[in-house]
Amino acid sequence: MERTAPEAPASRRIGKHDSIVSARHRPLALAPHRKRRIDFDLKDQHVLDIDDIDQKRKRFGNHSFNAHPSGPAQAMSHVHVLQHPLVSHHLCQLRDKRTRPSEFRAAVSRLAMLIGVRATDDLPTQPVTIPTPVADAPCHELATDIGIVPVLRAGLGMVDPLLDLIPDASVWHLGLYRNEQTAEPVGYYDKLPKKGAPNVALVLDPMLATGGSIDMVVRRLMRWGVEDIRVLSIIASQPGLDRVANDFPHVKLFVAAVDPSLNEQAFIVPGLGDAGDRIFDTPQND
């Protein structure tokens, strides 16, 4: 995200150990104790809801951001933190404030590729027979419809490597920015059609900070009818990861690293700064 933060129907088995909760046939129901204000395109019924300031402070505190009381998320089966030497190596380059924008973009791309491979390792396939120059060969091809959903603008830096992995995937954009006074996300772009949701949505956002932007995106995709939602982030804060993991147990989360905290401006600590600014070389001078 650009710098700025139901009892369900029966589940359907997708992978060996993974069940996906369907939200296709019921509207999203918000808990009665949560008052939310609406900010999005009411004309097309493309509505993304955001917590008001009081709700934000109840969740995070007035001046600090504390871990979700039910955490930590890493112990949950739907949360996956990558452990790989190449992941560690490229994270070092991303975190280094001396890394030039071109090098930063390249490192984001490599990490997105590594995370993407892990996040798609249980996609359903179907057997096919392919003629080779020598003889017919038994193979398996993907048997599901996949959509890539980058969260504008920083998520754009992760799109190309995912398309390299899944060339036939569709790409749908959701635009959010952070309200600097409340650290809450505000939606500004949503052109999802009313029908035609993919079976699987891969949500791309390099930084999972407070979890507010992912909360909005997941709820929007559920209303659209996506049954299998997977979030791919490079760095998550512990409180943000705990929040999303506890609020959405049917959503799989894939991250390269988990940092312990957020500062008073809702930036991940130690983090890497503003991913969008570093990807697009647009430093803020305020």
Active site residues: 178, 182, 274, 277
Beta carbons within 8 Å of 172's beta carbon, 6+ residues apart: 147, 148, 149, 191, 192, 201
Residue entry with tokens 């069940």: 19
DSSP secondary structure letter of residue 33: T
Six token digits for residue 259: 């940092």
Pair 235, 268: CB distance under 8 Å:
yes
Cα–Cα distance, 60 to 68 (Å, whole number):
9
The residue type found at 249 is: P
Residue entry with tokens 């951001």: 65
Q: What are phi and psi of 72, to 5 degrees?
A: -85, 155
Element (H, E) at 86: helix 85-95
Pair 11, 19: CB distance under 8 Å:
yes
Residues counted in the chain: 286
- What's the count of helices (H) and strands (E) in the chain, helices before strands? 7, 17
Six token digits for residue 76: 């949950």
Residue entry with tokens 């147990």: 249
Beta carbons within 8 Å of 243's beta carbon, 6+ residues apart: 59, 68, 210, 211, 215
* Other beta carbons within 10 Å of 6: 12
